[in-house]
Chains A and B, each alone.
Chain A
Amino acid sequence: MENKELRKELKVSAIENGTVIDHIPAQSLFQVIKILNLDKSNDQILFGTNLDSMKYGKKGIIKVRNKFFESDEINKIALVAPTATLIVIKDYKVVEKKQVEIPDEVQKIVKCFNPNCITNNEAVPTRFEVIKNEAVIKLQCHYCEKTTSKENMVFL
């Protein structure tokens, strides 16, 4: 048992202060990194993917040292990683743990599916209202008013 714990530690080492984003679907890891702009960050970042998960089979995990996210910032990842958990670490201890929530509005991260939309033809940042009351999540474009459904979402 102790041995197992140790091996787990070695895969992605613990952080003293910062944020852990756990239970990311394995295939979405790099997308999450991109949405959170971690690829351009100066913070120390540890990440792993295709790790074994009891709940989901395979999962990804990201640890960002000395960084604490605002809810709005983190909720952007809910579109690609609805299962993700946010864990706030202070002095090696978990001080907060929460599920990501799907936001009401999404800006700049998804492309509008309508090729005739102004956002695909001029330098206009995309903006969508999230429609949650249907079986699948849809994004309604603030500009062209057309909806983009989950299977058609292309991330910028």
Chain B
Amino acid sequence: MKNRSLISINDFTKQEQIRILDIAADFEKNPIRKILENNVVATLFFEPSTRTRLSFESAASRLGAKVIGFSSSASSSVSKGESLKDTILTVSNYSDVIVMRHPKDGSARYASEVSPVPVINAGDGANQHPTQTLLDMYSIRKTQGTLDNLNIAFVGDLKYGRTVHSLTMALTQFNTTFHLVSPEELKLPSYVKRHIKEKQLTYHQYTDLMDVIPNADIIYMTRIQRERFSDPIEYEKVKNIYNLENAMLDGAKENMRILHPLPRVNEISTDVDSNPKAYYFQQALNGVFVRQALLATILGAI
């Protein structure tokens, strides 16, 4: 995987994805390893982000790499009208790998084609966010001991949520049974369901969150994203439709864990946070190990 770009989760084979998870597990045991002291990591965030940028920068720092970059378009030459191609070509002179988030779909693939150094996609518009998918897979494997044959429930905005789409596609490699909970208007798109059907896997659709709690191994909650709705009335109708409270978890399986890509609004009550089944903050921590594994592998240090 040395010198390879990671734009879409499908750019890596199942074996390669598992290899990244294995390396991430080593970093969890031993996170401070200065193996990238001679490397420069550029983080180009054309769109703001808290977790993704900081966890990449944290991962790079723990590996001893220098980090350069910007955290919004306003603080870069983009505000002077520079094209993405020119920005990428310039920054590639200063760095060994580029981590980028950009508001336009497909921007990361394009960047990887013009860049002489590898590009890691940290989110391109509504399209892909493969490092989130890998950290979700890591969190599932860590809490369940396996990725195979699990009952995974996705809850909330299944129509627009790119993390749900990418993770669903990745999980079709592991004989997953999918439980899809959403309001009628935010169901999983048919082009994602097609991937489930192609692998002859099963999915069930629900509108009531309570229906999935007793059987799920993982409940993956998502935020209903206000920015995706053109009609504010439509958003008002569904914004508070799911609210997971601690009292609702009594019938859940012992091994069940709750994941959320964060940020959350009110789909998970704060009274769930102290329940041992709540896993979303550890999930965010796992992002650092997975990103360490990616940086170290792509830069050829492992």
Contact = CB atoms under 8 A, between A and B. Distances in A.
Interface of A: 114, 116-119, 121-124, 141-147
7 contacts: A122-B83, A124-B106, A143-B106, A144-B104, A145-B105, A145-B128, A146-B127
Contact of A122 (B85, B126, B191): B85
B86 to A, nearest CB: 10
B127 A121 contact: no
Contacts of B106: 117-119, 124, 141-145
A145 B8 contact: yes
Interface string B108-132: 0110000000000000111110000
Given A144-B127, A145-B8, A145-B127, A118 B107 contact: yes
Contacts, number: 53
Contacts of B127: 144-146
Interface residues of B, number: 18
Contacts of B85: 122-123
B25 to A, nearest CB: 30
Contacts of B109: 118, 142-143
Contact of A143 (B103, B110, B126): B110
Given A118-B102, A145-B105, 16 more contacts: A116-B103, A116-B104, A118-B84, A118-B104, A118-B107, A118-B109, A118-B110, A121-B104, A122-B83, A122-B85, A142-B106, A143-B107, A144-B106, A145-B8, A145-B128, A147-B191
A116 B110 contact: no
Contacts of B125: 116, 144
Contacts of A146: 105, 127
Interface of B: 8, 83-85, 102-107, 109-110, 124-128, 191
B83 A144 contact: no
A118 B124 CA distance: 9
A143 B83 contact: no
A124 to B, nearest CB: 5
Nearest to A140: B191
Given A122-B110, A143-B109, A117 B128 contact: no
Contacts of A142: 106, 109
A124 B85 CA distance: 9
Q: A124, A141, A147: which has the most chain B beta carbons within 10 Å?
A: A124
Contacts of A143: 105-107, 109-110
Pick from A116, A119, A142, A147 the residue with the most CB of B within 10 Å: A116
A70 B102 CA distance: 38
Contacts of B105: 114, 116-118, 143-146
A147 B127 CA distance: 12
3 smallest CB-CB distances across A and B, nearest first, come from A143-B106, A144-B105, A144-B106
